[in-house]
Structure 1
Amino acid sequence: MNKWRCNVCGYIHEGDKPPAACPVCGVGPEEFVEVREAAKETKTAGKRWKCTVCDYIHEGDAPPDRCPLCGVSSELFILLTDDVQVLTPEAVAQAGVDTASAALDKVSYGLYIVTSVKDNNINGQCCNTVFQLTSKPLRISVCLNKNNLTHEYVMASGVFAVSVLGINQMEAVRRFGYKSGRTSDKFAGIEYIAGRNGCPVLKDCLAYIEAKVLAEKTVDVGTHTLFVADVTAGRTVANEEALTYSLYRRSK
């Protein structure tokens, strides 16, 4: 039986093909890679460290001081415990692997909780692709993975809310980003209020935005859907520093 490893959370799935959605973090099958038995034959006795920015894998007792591919420091490496195919700098050069994704990690992002509602049920997910499009009219966009439950709810209801997180809300990222609403109640024990459009808003967020999707402007971008929406309500709750994706990656 084949084994498939989730690139996001490391969950291992056994079967002829990857699951439709990761039961731990909710990402789709495109985020799974097959764990090849051949990797066991080439693996050395040393520990294996993965760069969380460009996915380069280093072998040794400790991570390198700097990633030879994207240049980030050792604190952005994680220790691997599962068998995955080793990617060396030489292999990257020979295969012509595009490291533009590492460059894109330098683009600034925030981290938000996007929520929606369907048939009186609520769900939410962590999302870093939330941005303002225009000021007149006040319009924003979010981009969600088609395999996520929140995507299903937004498609059905045409409404969503965005809770802006503060720098001390790492736990919210783990709760809403590492679990699937199909297998757990993400709002269990969480204080929230119902927005005007029915979508939940975290009570301790820095600010929130409610929006109505413009169906005619929704764009299919492959694995994800880009939702364009008019802002219908919003409020600043606290004047504190907002959590960014870069800060989260350094602190997780």
Structure 2
Amino acid sequence: MPTETPKSRPRWLDIGVLLAVIPILLAAARVLLFSGGDPALFRVLVQTLNVPTVLLGTAITILPIVALLPLFMFASEPSALRHFAKAPWFSFAFGAYFVVVIAAVILGPWPSMGWTVLFGVALFLAFWLARRLRNAVRAYRRGLTARSALMAGLPMVVRPPTDAWKSSTWGPVVVVLLALAGLQSMWLPSERLLLSDGTELTAFVLEEKTEWTTVLTEERVVLRIETSQVDTRTVCEQGEFSSLLMTWAKSAPVDAPSC
């Protein structure tokens, strides 16, 4: 009896698995980077880790950087965009990218998110102008006038898909480096703790249980304090965090105290 040819796994399934695994790997890298290679601190961070908090904090941190990835790749290698546009899921990917950019602008901290978008647009224009200038120089050397050389159209060299993606791999490398640089910060807000003996302490609260509260000071010292000795906890000012959505809704939170 003829055997049926096994069906290949859908490409969108591989992409979904990759998108699900990347935040977990980056969150693990964030814990390792913040520990600074200290095995004792790394062990404490893992033991007291709030997984949803670090995953959500990491995803929000890298969202603007990931949104810049297509601009890096397609600005440096336009033929990669032509191959990408032939994929059956191009419309879905383009729509998802557009939604991510809009969500980042509306929900991200303002005006730093606006500067991030402006940086991406400026970078894309810089690549485009550099390509046009290089093409104009080549046209001028072939005997065209300066005006005609500047007005000459950009030739589209369509490379094979493998070569096109290889020539733009520096884009993901830059994105990874930017992401790692941004992931060295703590995923929890700093807090000001007032103890019952009058002591004030600025630290990150890693874990709070019935008997003990584990905190990490700004000097990377782990302290375990009796929970009954902690009278008040006040979240310190974390910098800009009011989004455009909060501004439009006039629901920006009251400024937190600086610690």
Q: Name the TM-score, length of structure 1 as normaliser.
A: 0.25
Report which structure shows greater RCO (CA 8 Å, sep ≥6).
Answer: 2
More helix by share: 2
Structure with higher Rg: it is 2
More strand by share: 1
Q: Name the TM-score, length of structure 2 as normaliser.
A: 0.25
